Amino acid sequence: MQSERCINTATAKTTLAIHACASASKCGPVIYYDIERKFNHEWAAAFGARVGGNFTVAWPDDSAQALNEILNLLDKNKELGIVLIVLDSIAALSPTGKQYVDKEQTTLQDFREVPMARLARFLTPFYEQFRPLLAASGAAFLAVNQLRVNIGGYGDPMYTPGGNAKDFTSAIELRMLAPTNIEKTVNGEKKLVGRIHKGKTKKNQTASWPREVKVPIKYTPRIMVDRSLEMYFAGVEGGVIVNEDGKAPSGKQAAFYGDINLGMGQSAVATYFDKHPEMVQELYHAVMQRETLNSQASIEGTSDVLQASELDE
């Protein structure tokens, strides 16, 4: 399965990719292609992704080498057992002139200079070979991308470089939005202690409805994902944490989990979870159970619609 992340600047694109690597490396080998040459070992280690063992960072000499290696790894993955391959990022790929994938040799060859859509023409033949190899490999592929502004024209001016082939290949496309600062007043001054990074699925073949995600990252006392605040957001979205009226709490409204008053506002709820870590685990199982029930109801509803349409015909 391929997933693509479309990002504005400073929206935790690399951070989320590293977080995925840290989780996947517990199950098997993970390879991270750092095309941007910005990988920070200390930042990655803060999220549990330490180079060595199952986690490898590669710095290819050029874009052609990176794509060739990805194709070769996928082709041999039955022996290698790679769980996740990350490409950071598509926008940083810089083909020299026009290059194409030789389907006989699975190598990239120089062809001719094309002034327009050079990156898109470079990637389209790659994806032609990439799709069947990825499906047979059993690995997951995560590509980070960036947003560009299309001057003139109609519709949404924001687009991602690399052509349309990547959009058709992706199973999930997550667009990251501008983050919200988490501030704390210390000695009468507001200090930045973290950020809440937000994402919205632009394309999702694994669920029947658009999804939104919030990832809170705190900077003190050390850089890490705020699990307590993250569970609050998951509980609200899953309908497990509600206000007195049974709706999603907002602002400084009291939040309830069953008959338990968790506090007023997300900061108070996060503090409650910090003091009661066993509640986080219980809430996690409740959210997953609700998600399972929602998925089953969605599948049954789709089946009923299909049966009704067949009867009409």
Q: What is the mean pLDDT of residues 134-143?
A: 95
Please report how the helices 266-275 and 227-237 are oriented relative to each other, as an axis angle in degrees rounded to 10.
120
pLDDT at 31: 97
pLDDT higher at 106 or 234 = 234
Q: Which of 209, 214, 259, 207 lies closest to 232, judged by CA?
A: 214
Give the β-pairing of 260-264 and 172-186. Answer: unpaired
Q: What structural domains and CATH numbers belong to the chain?
A: 2-177 (3.40.50.300), 227-313 (3.30.250.10)
CB 196 within 8 A of CB 179: yes
CA within 13 Å, CB half, 10: 6
Does residue 304 have a pLDDT over 70?
Answer: no
DSSP secondary structure letter of residue 219: -
Euclidean distance between CA atoms 142 and 208, whole angstroms: 21
Specify the pLDDT at position 111.
Answer: 43
- Cα first-last separation, the chain: 35
For 150-175, what is the mean pLDDT?
84
Q: Identify the three-state secondary structure at position 186.
A: strand
Residue at token pair 């399972």: 292
Cα–Cα distance measured from residue 198 to residue 9, given in angstroms and rounded to the nearest whole number: 13
How large is the average pLDDT for residues 217-229?
85
Q: Whose CA is closest to 235, among 181, 175, 171, 281?
A: 281
pLDDT the model gives residue 71: 96
The answer to whether residues 11 and 181 touch, using CB atoms and an 8 Å cutoff, is no
Tell me what the mean pLDDT of segment 3-23 comes to: 77
* pLDDT number for residue 110: 45
Confidence of residue 112 (pLDDT cuts 50, 70, 90): very low
Instruction: Check residue 106 and give its pLDDT.
Output: 45
Residues with Cβ within 8 Å of residue 247, at least 6 apart in sequence: none
Give the global pTM: 0.80
* Residue of 220, 234, 218, 224 whose CA lies nearest to 179: 218
Residues of the chain with pLDDT > 90: what percent? Answer: 34
For all residues of the chain together, what is the average pLDDT? 83
What is residue 100's predicted lDDT score, i.e. its pLDDT? Answer: 47
pLDDT tens-digit readout, 270-285: 999 999 989 988 998 9
53-101 tens-digit pLDDT: 999 999 998 888 999 999 999 999 999 999 999 999 898 887 764 444 4
Q: What is the pLDDT of residue 4?
A: 55
Question: Does the CA dihedral 6-9-11-12 come out positive or negative?
Answer: positive
Centroid of chain to Cα 163: 20
Q: Which of 122, 77, 131, 78 is nearest to 100 (CA)?
A: 122
Q: What is the dihedral of CA 106, 111, 116, 118, to 10 degrees?
A: 30
- pLDDT tens digits, one per residue of 164-213: 888 889 999 998 888 999 888 888 888 888 999 999 888 888 776 677 88
* pLDDT (0 to 100) of residue 157: 79
- By the 10 Å C-beta count (0-12 exposed, 13-18 middle, 19+ buried), 195 is classed as buried
Beta bridge partners of 54: none
